[in-house]
């Protein structure tokens, strides 16, 4: 073994050694378990290499990169509208939500503000994509813990939201609807009343899920007290979204750091937190968030102002020189874009701060000392999208 001379490194090692959750028997051989890259419980191509001592996990290291598409490089050779079409595909379940922080960052650099109607519709679609995203999480998490029915229910009821997104934007999955300075189009006729109906269905779906999944005894015994993340650890890993709120941190960018251009202050809603920080808390917070999102949509639908949906912007978009970081509370957590512009058609550098990357980086910490079946609960409840990790 090489000697450690660097005091910083020594401190890190010491911190790791004093982490006594794992009662290691260093003499035993152990076993290495490889999950993935194709594994039903990792939705996508995440690979986990876990070292086991019996049933207990000594270390679990996620291996990413199977979905690395080189976003940060290829956006440097795309114009701003082209990027807008591309970044839908980072977090593919809440596509519209990906566009918003990037567009807001570009708008900030250009000094453009979208008209009120566009802000309203943006917020509505943002929350709709949150509903579409998290409703699938509820079903998928049930599926991973062995409850197939939840998955079928989620796929069934998610279609109601996707229909609304599709009828407004033309894209079921990847809307590409947001524009610098507003939106591509206005809403179609009858959309508002249809959306009310869809949101009512989703609220009923949440009640159904609460009975079917969250209230289920097997579900609770597989999630309660599993994968506990304390608040200070969560903060130092940069966990965001429901994962952070489930650890008791009352922090929501929609309420606390909402960038101009979204109208969350126009609706009456609540940020839910849970003190436990375990897998159950994360699921529960997400369930409440789906409800809140549906409520926000319903309130905003009633107050959409009249007016244009597009501000005056030049036809060929050149973003002035500058740097801007805009983050919003996406379905998975904080998603931010650090845009550096040199006054060109294309951005000079775009750093994409995606939520899942930080959220999943805690897996080596939280999986230590867990049991193998709990690994599925932990991974499922941290809720990641592969495209959001690897980009």
Partner 1 sequence: MRTWLSVGRVIRLSSADTTDATASGASAEEVITDEAREAVLAELTARLGDAVLGSHIRPGDDLWVRVDRSAWRDAAEAAKAMGFTFFDYVSGIDWLPSPFGRDMDAQEDLVVSGAEPKEPAPIVQGYAGGETRFQVIAHVYNIATATGIHFKADVPDGDLTLPTWTGVFAGANWHERETREMFGISFDGHPNLINMYLPTDFQGFPLRKDFPLLARRVRPWPGIVDVEPMPGVADAEEGDAE
Partner 2 sequence: MGLVESGRVPKPLSKLLNLSRKYSIWAYQWGLACCAIEMGAAFASPRYDVMRLGVIPFPASPRQADLVVIAGTVTDKLAPAVVRLYEQMPDPKYVISMGSCANCGGPYWDSYSVTKGVDQLIPVDVYVPGCPPRPEALLEGVLLLQERIAHEDMAERWKGDPIVVS
Classify residue 94 by its DSSP letter: S
C-alpha 282/C-alpha 131 separation (Å) is 16
**Residue 302 lies near partner 1 (rule: CB under 8 A):** no
272 binds partner 1 (CB under 8 A): no
345 belongs to the binding site for partner 2 (CB under 8 A)? no
Contact with partner 1 (CB under 8 A) among 258, 295, 371, 372? 258
Interactions with partner 1, residue window 78-97 (CB under 8 A) = 78-79, 82
Site string (127-146) toward partner 2, x via CB under 8 A: ---------x----------
Residue positions counted in the chain:
391
- Alpha carbon distance 41, 30 (integer Å): 23
* Residues 326/311, Cβ–Cβ less than 8 Å: no
Spatial CB neighbours of 356, under 8 Å, sequence gap ≥ 6 = 91, 332, 333, 383, 384, 385, 386, 388, 389
Residue 390 in contact with partner 1, rule: CB under 8 A: yes
Q: Which is nearer to partner 2, 71 or 237 (CB)?
A: 71
Q: Is 79 in the site for partner 2 (CB under 8 A)?
A: no
Nearer to partner 2, 159 or 194 (CB): 159
DSSP state of 371: B
Q: Does 235 bind partner 1 (CB under 8 A)?
A: yes
Q: How far is the CB of 290 from partner 1 (least distance, A)?
A: 19
Number of residues that bind partner 2 (CB under 8 A): 30
38 binds partner 2 (CB under 8 A): yes
CB 295 within 8 A of CB 243: no
295 touches partner 1 by CB under 8 A? no
Residue 310 CB coordination number (10 Å): 17
Neighbour order of strands in the sheet with 56-63? 31-35, 47-53, 56-63
* Identity of the residue, 90 or 138, whose beta carbon is nearer to partner 1 in the bound complex: 90
Contact 372, 50 (CB under 8 A): yes
For 124, the token pair is: 């509505």
- The distance of Cα 322 from the centroid of its chain, to the nearest Å, equals 27
Minimum distance between the CB of residue 386 and partner 1, rounded to whole angstroms? Answer: 12
Q: Which is nearer to partner 2, 131 or 136 (CB)?
A: 136
> Which one, 33 or 313, has the nearer CB to partner 1?
313
Angle made by CA atoms 95, 99, 103, in degrees to the nearest 5: 170
- Asked if residue 188 binds partner 1 (CB under 8 A), the reply is no
Specify whether the CB–CB gap between 318 and 49 falls below 8 A: no
Residues 6+ apart with CB under 8 A from 290: 130, 131, 134, 135, 138, 202, 206
When asked if residue 237 is in the footprint of partner 1 (CB under 8 A), the reply is yes
Within 19-58, which residues bind partner 1 (CB under 8 A)? none
> Is residue 12 close enough to count as binding partner 1 by CB under 8 A?
yes
358 interacts with partner 1 by CB under 8 A:
yes
- Exposure on the CB side of residue 186, measured as CA atoms within 13 A: 13
Report yes or no: 91 and 356 within 8 Å, Cβ to Cβ. Answer: yes
Residue 191 in contact with partner 1, rule: CB under 8 A: no
Does 93 bind partner 2 (CB under 8 A)? Our answer is yes
Residue 315 binding result from partner 2, partner 1, none, given CB thresholds of 5 to 8 Å by partner type: partner 1
Residues that bind partner 2 (CB under 8 A): 37-38, 43-45, 65-70, 73-74, 77, 85-86, 89, 92-93, 136, 151-152, 155-156, 159, 172-174, 386-387
């Amino acid at each position: 073994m090489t000697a450690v001379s660097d005091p910083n490194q020594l401190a890190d090692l010491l911190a790791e050694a004093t982490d006594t959750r794992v009662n290691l028997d260093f003499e035993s051989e152990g076993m290495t378990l490889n999950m993935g890259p194709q594994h039903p419980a990792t939705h996508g191509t995440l690979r986990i290499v876990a070292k086991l001592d019996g049933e207990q996990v000594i270390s679990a290291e996620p291996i990413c990169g199977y979905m690395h598409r080189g976003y940060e490089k290829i956006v440097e050779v795309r114009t701003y509208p082209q990027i807008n079409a591309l970044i839908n595909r980072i977090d593919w379940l809440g596509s519209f939500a990906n566009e918003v922080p990037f567009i807001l960052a570009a708008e900030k650099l250009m000094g453009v503000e979208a008209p009120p109607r566009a802000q309203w519709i943006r917020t509505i679609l943002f929350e709709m994509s949150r509903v579409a995203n998290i409703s699938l999480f509820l079903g998928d998490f049930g599926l991973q813990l062995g409850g197939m029915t939840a998955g079928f229910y989620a796929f069934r009821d998610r279609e109601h939201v996707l229909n609304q997104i599709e009828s407004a934007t033309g894209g079921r999955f990847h809307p590409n609807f947001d524009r610098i300075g507003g939106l591509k189009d206005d809403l179609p006729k009858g959309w508002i009343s249809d959306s009310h109906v869809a949101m009512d269905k989703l609220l009923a779906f949440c009640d159904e899920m609460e009975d079917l999944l969250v209230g289920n005894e097997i579900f609770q015994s597989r999630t309660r007290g599993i994968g506990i993340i304390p608040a200070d650890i969560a903060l130092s890993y940069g966990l965001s979204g429901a994962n952070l709120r489930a650890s008791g941190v009352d922090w929501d960018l929609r309420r606390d750091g909402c960038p101009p251009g979204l109208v969350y202050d126009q609706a009456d809603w609540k940020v839910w937190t849970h003190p436990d920080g375990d897998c159950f808390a994360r699921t529960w917070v997400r369930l409440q968030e789906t409800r809140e999102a549906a409520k926000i949509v319903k309130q905003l639908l009633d107050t959409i102002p009249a007016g244009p949906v597009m501000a005056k912007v030049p036809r060929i978009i050149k973003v002035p020189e500058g740097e801007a970081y805009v983050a919003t509370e996406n379905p998975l957590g904080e998603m931010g874009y650090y845009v550096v512009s040199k006054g060109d058609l294309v951005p000079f550098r775009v750093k994409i701060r995606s939520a899942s990357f930080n959220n999943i980086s805690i897996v080596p910490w939280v999986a230590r000392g867990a049991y193998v079946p709990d690994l599925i609960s932990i991974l499922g409840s941290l809720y990641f999208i592969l495209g959001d990790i690897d980009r």
